[in-house]
Amino acid sequence: MFGIPDINTPHSASRNPLIVRQHTLVNALEGYKHMYCLGGSATWGNIRAMLAHNIAGMEIYEEGNFSDSPDDVWGISDLHLLEEANRVLRVQDKPFFALIQTAGNHRPYTIPKDKRDFEEVEVDDATLKENGFDSLKAYNGMRFLDYSLGHFFRLASKEDYFKRTIFCLYADHGTVATRQIPWDKLTLTMHHVPFAIYAPGYFHEGRTIDITASLVDTLPTLFGLIGIPYLNKTLGRDLLVARPKDKHFAFIDSVYRGLLNDEFFLLIDPRGVQRLYQYRSDSPLEDVREQHAERAAEMARLCQAIGETSKYLLYHNSPATLPAKSE
């Protein structure tokens, strides 16, 4: 989330709006405080090293910083983490970039003893499976995360930073469906995640943008909203900038590599075999590569280009300086 003085205005009297030195996009936020909050330890997944070596002055709030005791392997519950985060954010005296990482929607789906007025429910197995849940604990775990987010926004709405902040909510990955639906067979449910922007202090009407995108587009999109000048040396794009339909795509790299656009999904298996699917059609599991050979070849070239570029950027993406503009 971004806590900002005002959109499209200078953000710090000491900040030079013409020169921006950065290693990551977050470092373009000169004059901002950078914070990361999670209920457990930042040692998990090498997060501490990744943040420390890429984001200047990142302050980490983790287990040992909070008054609550851990509830499970993920640390304190999302409810208590979000309460702690609100206490941190409400005392900030400068603009901030804050990342709050929740974990309750992961096994073991722990509901803490101190759960305020949240109530667990009973649902039969058939209904759970029909709606994508493999257990009652998973369903109540998701409900508790939803409750915790609602509780956080009720608390935040009473604070001064609320109307000056752009909130962004997204997931790092999807899950496997309990039913073998076509998208699950295509491995897409593991990559299908929500992305919502909430900024009641700036936007009074909602809108839905139904285009293909990926998580790397998150920061460029938010930077476009707040008006901070930055040099984008990432593969992400501002989703609020209109582009031709053929420029909407997402790169997938896991067990299977693939490229997704608004109509087609190119899937490349570990042996290099390519298949093309019209995943939104009435026959999403039909391989249409022969019928759309030119499209498949074009997507394969783009997929390879993005994959090679992403590997190159790991070692050849040094800090950069925006060129100065005349006043």
Q: How many domains does the chain have?
A: 2
Confidence of residue 154 (pLDDT cuts 50, 70, 90): very high
- Identify the pLDDT of residue 285: 97
The predicted pLDDT at position 231 comes to: 85
- Same domain, residue pair 157 and 208: yes
Does the residue 310 lie in any domain? yes
Q: Name the least confident of 93-97, 194-198, 242-246.
A: 242-246
Residue 70 lies in a domain: yes
With respect to residue 223, please indicate whether it lies within any of the assigned structural domains.
yes
Residues 221 and 283 in one domain: no
Output the average pLDDT for the chain. 90
Quick one: 308 and 212 in the same domain? no
Whether 327 maps to a domain, the answer reads: no
Give the model's pLDDT for residue 14: 32
Task: Specify whether 13 is located in the same domain as 99.
Answer: yes
Q: Is residue 323 in a domain? A: no
Same domain, 143 and 277: no
On whether both 198 and 273 belong to a single domain, the answer is no
Question: What's the pLDDT score for residue 230?
Answer: 83
Are residues 53 and 129 located together in one domain of the fold? yes
pLDDT given at position 3: 72
**Does pTM surpass 0.95?**
no
- Write down the pLDDT at residue 10: 33
**In a shared domain, residues 142 and 229:** yes
Is 180 inside a domain boundary?
yes
Is the per-residue pLDDT at 326 higher than 50? yes
Q: In what order do the strands lie in the sheet with 59-61?
A: 59-61, 33-38, 96-101, 2-3, 165-170, 195-198
Q: Where are the beta strands (DSSP E) in the chain?
A: 2-3, 21-22, 33-38, 59-61, 96-101, 165-170, 195-198, 249-253, 257-261, 265-268, 274-277, 320-321
Query: Domain containing 105 — which CATH number?
Result: 3.40.720.10
- With respect to residue 325, please indicate whether it lies within any of the assigned structural domains: no
In a domain, 17, yes or no: yes
pLDDT given for residue 321 in this prediction: 63
For residue 260, is pLDDT > 80? yes
- Domain identity same for 215 and 142: yes
Q: Which domain holds residue 166?
A: 2-234
Work out the pLDDT band at 182, boundaries 50, 70, 90.
very high
> By C-alpha distance, which of 218, 132, 201, 192 is closest to 166?
201
**In a shared domain, residues 163 and 252:** no
Q: Indicate the pLDDT class of residue 265, thresholds 50, 70 and 90.
A: very high
| Residue 281's CATH number | 3.30.1120.10
Residues 290 and 165 in one domain: no
**Residues 54-93: pLDDT tens digits?**
898 999 999 999 999 999 999 999 999 999 999 999 999 9
Backbone torsions φ then ψ of 275, nearest 5 degrees: -135, 150
Residues 248 and 194 in one domain: no
- Give which of 35, 54, 39, 155 is closest to 95, Cα–Cα: 35
CA distances from 261 to 174, 184, 210, 218 (A): 18, 17, 11, 17
Longest dimension (CA), the chain: 67
Average pLDDT over residues 17-31: 66
Locate 236 and state its tokens.
């992400």
pLDDT band at 324 (very low <50, low <70, confident <90, very high): low
